[in-house]
Amino acid sequence: MSNWLYLHARAIADAFRRLAGQPLGTLLSAMVVGIALSLPAGGYLLLDNVATLARGVSGTPEISLFLANDAGAADVAAVERRLKGNPELSSFRFVSRDDALHQLERSGLGDVLGGLTANPLPDAFIVAPHSEDPAVFERLATEMRGWPKVAHVQLDSAWVKRLHALLGLGRSAVLMLAGLLGFALVIVTFNTIRLQILTQRAEIEVSRLLGATDPFIRRPFYWFGILQGALGGLVALGTVWLGVRALAGPVTALAETYGAVFALAGPGLPEAAAILAFAALLGWLGAAVSVRRHLAGD
């Protein structure tokens, strides 16, 4: 075990030596890997921020059920009984016309409302179904529209659902982008390792004559790929971090114009670790394919 670790430590040191031996090539490769990875990483981060924002605005899709202005207490009670008897609903709350008026006054529209002679707002129920299936929402809304003294039914959070659908689409697009660019990175590493093998052909041949096994020959190339990938991952993290730093101020300012408080979040520790691991994995994969292709049968 200790010998195995020692040989890996030697291979890592050897890979570092090779990377340090050609600083410009190493830097350029890391930049290519990093910039390519920063696109899906930045896209993922952007979607994550939008998702957080959407969760903050409304986490659960709801149905607003507005009663007619002439609905009396008995009508309200009748609607409440229907809601209580519906097993598809997880919760509902009643917002009286007076409460609705008070809420509007507190939101800064007191001056406008002060000019009215009577409360124009209706009584309302805010209803949350168990399911988030749009078809269930539509069916329930249609059913409620047929109830007595129900004037209007509105799917309050339909836009949130659309946003979630768009986020899902965005995630798929980011995954596809990551897949494509990941494949490109495997090719970049494949070619880098191919050149490494060509330039070190003499060393490989001498090592084989001196009794080096296949794993001994291949190990430094695997580590080279892993380290090059990880360096690219660091460049990607740096690029994303710079992007977040550059956009954080304008995004916060934009949110403030809508009366919202929102700060753009950069990659956390788990995301950073995932980006590094993904980059290292791609590097290893490119190296493994290249080594298999160019050292086979030596």
Partner 1 sequence: MIVFDNVAKRYPGGYTALAGVSFEIRHGELVVLSGHSGAGKSTLLKLIPAIERPTAGTVLINGQDVSRLPRRAVPYLRRNLGLMLQESKLLTDRSVFENVMLPLVITGHPPGDAAKRVAAALERVGLGGRGREMPLGLSGGEQQRVAIARAIVNRPSILIADEPTAHLDPAYADEIAALFKSFNSAGVTVLVSTHDANLFAANKPRRLVLAKGLLTEGA
- Residues of this chain that bind partner 1 (CB under 8 A): 3, 6-7, 10, 202-203, 205-214, 216
Q: Between residues 135 and 210, which has the closer beta carbon with respect to partner 1?
A: 210
Q: How far is the CB of 211 from partner 1 (least distance, A)?
A: 4
Q: How far is the CB of 286 from partner 1 (least distance, A)?
A: 24
Output phi, psi for 231, to 5 deg: -60, -40
CA–CA dist 155, 94 (Å, integer) = 16
Q: Between residues 147 and 216, which has the closer beta carbon with respect to partner 1?
A: 216
Q: Between residues 98 and 298, which has the closer beta carbon with respect to partner 1?
A: 298
Q: Between residues 21 and 146, which has the closer beta carbon with respect to partner 1?
A: 21
Q: Between residues 98 and 214, which has the closer beta carbon with respect to partner 1?
A: 214
Q: How far is the CB of 199 from partner 1 (least distance, A)?
A: 10
CA–CA dist 48, 72 (Å, integer) = 46
Kindly state the DSSP code that residue 68 receives in the 8-state scheme: P
Q: How far is the CB of 214 from partner 1 (least distance, A)?
A: 8
Q: How far is the CB of 204 from partner 1 (least distance, A)?
A: 11
Q: How far is the CB of 226 from partner 1 (least distance, A)?
A: 20
Entry field: residues in the chain: 298
CA dihedral 5, 188, 230, 199 (to 10 degrees): 40
DSSP string, 99-135: HHHHHHIIIIIHHHHHT-SS--PPPEEEEEES---HH
Name, in order, each residue with C-beta under 8 angstroms of 129's C-beta and a sequence gap of 6 or more: 61, 63, 88, 89, 90, 136, 137, 140
What 3-state class would DSSP assign to 91?
A: strand
Q: How far is the CB of 23 from partner 1 (least distance, A)?
A: 16
DSSP string, 199-230: HTHHHHHHHHHTT--HHHHHHHHHHHHHHHHH
Output phi, psi for 65, to 5 deg: -115, 110
Q: Between residues 1 and 73, which has the closer beta carbon with respect to partner 1?
A: 1
Q: Between residues 18 and 194, which has the closer beta carbon with respect to partner 1?
A: 18
- The runs of H, that is alpha helices, within 146-213 are 158-199, 201-209
